[in-house]
Amino acid sequence: MNLTAILLGLASAVLFAVGSAMEQSTTKQEKPTRTLDPRLILHLLRRPRWVLGLVPTTGGVVLQGLALRTGALALIEPLLLAGVFLAVPLSAAFNRQRPQRRDFIVVALGVVGLAAFLAAADPQSGVSEAPTVAWLPVIVAVPLLFAACLLLARRLTDASRGIVLGIGTGLLYGFDVSLLKTIMVQLGGGVGVVFANWHVYALMVGGLVALILNQNAFQNGRIAAPLTTIVLVDPIVSVVIGVTVYQETLSLYGARLVVGMVAAAFIVFALWLARRAR
């Protein structure tokens, strides 16, 4: 495993945690809006803490991109969950509340699940770029799954709604960071190369939609429910794209497959426990 990529991934996780806590504590003060209502972002832009929260979040994206230049998607993305341990007490402090033990249990179960999966899968890097035809199944599947999340969220409230919106957000973030891996490589040929390809434009659209939906998710329940869901779904999507698009390899066979299935059970239980949070 690439130690530099891991350290960059962990640093990215810390910055994401700080930014998420600042954003969630501010978003909770806004009146709930319809899903993907852009007016929510316009209101939040008037709040200094939310705007300042974009600084560490942006820094996290930059470090994540650097980590992905040398590390596999399946290796870097699960590291983001480590930052949620920091986001939970930070968010509680911003909201003048005490951290809940259940929130830490949810995060711990998610960390154990992803760490076990990572150890069993032993992800290895594939190609740095992939032809557009390799992206076509992903380009079709992501919007369909995203639409399903929006439809289901309309029937739910509180933490359950936050989790479903978190799934949709994680889906887009996983797609976006997969695009970012190719864009970081394209930058080696100059900015002109980046803007001559479709990846950067898809990233812009996906990033904006994900940002809005992320704030919608933060308005439902405590931060542990939506944020844990986001950082669990994000790496799962990234792993799938890494294997199907970037030809990354996983060693899930024999005993490793059993460990992977147990790890998946931990992840499902973590989401179920988060759903019960109020």
Q: What is the pLDDT along the chain (278 residues), one digit of tens a residue?
A: 578 888 898 899 899 999 999 999 999 888 888 899 889 999 999 999 999 999 999 999 889 878 877 777 667 766 777 788 888 888 888 888 888 888 888 888 887 887 788 778 877 778 888 999 999 999 999 999 999 999 999 998 888 999 999 999 999 999 998 998 899 889 889 999 999 999 999 999 999 999 999 999 999 878 888 988 998 898 889 888 989 999 988 888 889 999 989 998 988 888 888 776 65
* Domain coordinates in residue numbering, the chain: 3-275
Query: Residue 138: what pLDDT?
Result: 96
Q: Report if pTM > 0.75.
A: yes
| pLDDT of amino acid 73 | 61
Q: What is the pLDDT of residue 45?
A: 94
Nearest to 77 by CA among 91, 63, 87, 88: 63
pLDDT of residue 97: 82
* Maximum Cα–Cα distance across the chain: 54
CA distance 195 to 18: 31
Instruction: Tally the C-alpha atoms within 13 A of residue 34's C-alpha that lie toward its C-beta.
Output: 4
| Contact predicate 265/150, CB 8 Å | no
Contacts of 274 (CB under 8 A, 6+ apart): 106, 159, 163, 221, 224, 225, 228, 229
| The predicted structure's pLDDT at residue 77 | 66
The residue type of 177 is V
Of 137, 274, 163, which is closest to residue 226 (Cα–Cα)?
163
Instruction: Name the residue among 67, 84, 72, 81 with its Cα closest to residue 113.
Output: 81
- Which residue, 278, 248, 277, 238, is CA-closest to 109? 277
